[in-house]
Structure 1
Amino acid sequence: MDDNGEARCKSRIVAILLSLCQPGLGHLYALRARRAVLFAGASLALAAVFLSGLLGQSFSSLVIVLSIALIIFLGGAIDAARCAPRSQSPGPRLSRWYAVLALAVAMQWLAYQALPLVQRLKSFYMPSSNMEPTIVPGDRLFAALAPSPNPRRGDIVLFESPETPGMLLLNRVIALPGETIEIRDKAVLLNGALAEEPWAQHLDPNILPADYYMEWGRKRDQLSRLTLADGQVFVMGDNRDFSHDSRFYGPVDTSSVRGKPLYVYWSQDRERIGLRLDQ
């Protein structure tokens, strides 16, 4: 291979790597400004549409978004390789790979700063078992980020922890503003009637009395009648015997609700992938 052939090969590799970092960068390196704008614009538009929640509200739409992204990234890399410079002769400084890479870092930083302004869809990882069997440890899910001043009974919600500001927790709404809730020997009573809870599971056969010597035990299985004020909900985990929830830290203000989980997009149990959580 002559010097020009070797340079052409190296240029193609650089163009491909830059394009895989961010579509459009490989074309910028190849001095194809119009194509750079086309591929960069397409990828940024797709990301904005996805993160804003216009797409991605269901697992099927997530698959569509990922398929389009794959086409943009791979198509951009292949096209940038075809447009790569044929020699290593000095060109405009902006076409040097390190200049293009620096530009990519700057673009990513700006995008990260602007993210909170448009983001309405966010990925979360479930580390604990408090929502089993609905959500199991290791599940990765997408949630819609939006205030929910009027959550419904049975909704799974993301809310800011009353105990640790800034930390988001995941539990199910059991009682609504103005309702009364009481727990007798693990049984939940709403407005004096036994609540229907097909999602709840109890793994510990023991029922702890109200005078149990440890505070967490007294609160786990017994709760005196409590009337919720306006703007408050009572939340609990589905895995009742192993959940830290409103039984321990009290009702949650609806103003602290940050969103709702939509679906599981990845799990160690492949059959759980695509499971909807907002129904």
Structure 2
Amino acid sequence: MTSAKGKNGSWEWIKALLIAIILAFIIRAFFFTPIVVDGSSMDPTLQDQDRMIVTKIGEPNRFDIVVFHAPDGRDYIRRVIGLPGDRIEYKDDILFINGEAYEEPNLNEYKQKVIDRPLTNSFTLEETPVRSDLVPEGHIFVLGDNRRGSTDSRHIGAIPMEKVVGTTKIVYYPIKEIKIIGK
């Protein structure tokens, strides 16, 4: 014969487990989700198979690393270079946003290693699939840090904001590589 205390204890465990599952689903669906870096497009900042946490809260800022649904159906990880209404141009390996030169400290070490030619070839937005002099409203312009080996907005155009999954800064695996990525 089962006691009432045993039934109540089992029911409490079931309720706690259901609540935990629901909370995990809500957190993953609306706030945070893991992602695995696939490829070398973000070298040297991120390595192939790094595992990261994506934050789904808020709008991306310039130089944030974002995850988005690419036209080929995969999720890409790239750096935000242009925001809606920005005029983007690269000239002699220097980024110009709205006519002003910007430093990209995350690329300094990489640029020193590849001195045979520019890391980022010169281009204007009009020479990309954006085909406009400004990043369209509701879109962002993204580039991989590995400028010579990245499929990014130079090839696929500006990214609609509704395709952005979120921003990411935290590498949590491999354990010896745990870090927070700065801008």
CA contact 2:139–2:160 (8 Å) conserved in 1: yes
Compute the TM-score of the two structures, normalised by the length of structure 1: 0.53
CA contact 1:175–1:190 (8 Å) conserved in 2: yes
Q: Which amino acid in 1 is paired with 2:176?
A: E
C-alpha distance in structure 1 between counterparts of 2:154 and 2:74, whole Å? 18
* Corresponding residue number in structure 1 for 2:128: none
C-alpha distance in structure 2 between counterparts of 1:239 and 1:256, whole Å? 22
* Corresponding residue number in structure 1 for 2:62: 153
* CA positional deviation for 1:177: 1.1
* CA positional deviation for 1:182: 0.7
C-alpha distance in structure 1 between counterparts of 2:52 and 2:24, whole Å? 15
C-alpha distance in structure 2 between counterparts of 1:52 and 1:241, whole Å? 38
C-alpha distance in structure 1 between counterparts of 2:124 and 2:169, whole Å? 33
Q: Which amino acid in 1 is paired with 2:26?
A: S
**Which shifted more, 177-186 or 225-234?**
225-234
* Corresponding residue number in structure 1 for 2:44: 133
Compute the TM-score of the two structures, normalised by the length of structure 2: 0.76
Q: Where does structure 1 lack aligned partners over 5 or more consecutive residues?
A: 1-31, 54-114, 209-216
* CA positional deviation for 1:157: 1.1
- Count of aligned pairs between the two proteins: 168
C-alpha distance in structure 2 between counterparts of 1:240 and 1:49, whole Å? 39
* Corresponding residue number in structure 2 for 1:43: 17
Q: Where does structure 2 lack aligned partners over 5 or more consecutive residues?
A: 1-5, 126-132
CA contact 2:92–2:122 (8 Å) conserved in 1: yes
* CA positional deviation for 1:255: 2.2
SS of residue matched to 1:194: strand
Superposition pairs of residues 226-237 of structure 1, within 5 angstroms: 226-237=133-144
CA contact 1:51–1:122 (8 Å) conserved in 2: no
Larger radius of gyration: 1
Q: Percent identity?
A: 27
**Residues 145-169 of structure 1, C-alpha deviations (whole Å, 9 max, x = no match):** 35x5x421111111111x31x3211
* CA positional deviation for 1:277: 4.2
SS of residue matched to 1:40: helix
* CA positional deviation for 1:246: 1.0
2:51 paired with 1:52? no
CA contact 1:185–1:207 (8 Å) conserved in 2: no
Q: Give the strand-richer structure, 1 or 2.
A: 2
Return closer, same or farther for 1:235/1:155 CA change in 2, 3 Å cut-off. same
* Corresponding residue number in structure 2 for 1:246: 153
Return closer, same or farther for 1:39/1:132 CA change in 2, 3 Å cut-off. farther
Return closer, same or farther for 1:184/1:278 CA change in 2, 3 Å cut-off. closer
CA RMSD across the alignment: 2.7
2:35 paired with 1:124? yes
C-alpha distance in structure 2 between counterparts of 1:181 and 1:278, whole Å? 22
Q: Give the helix-richer structure, 1 or 2.
A: 1
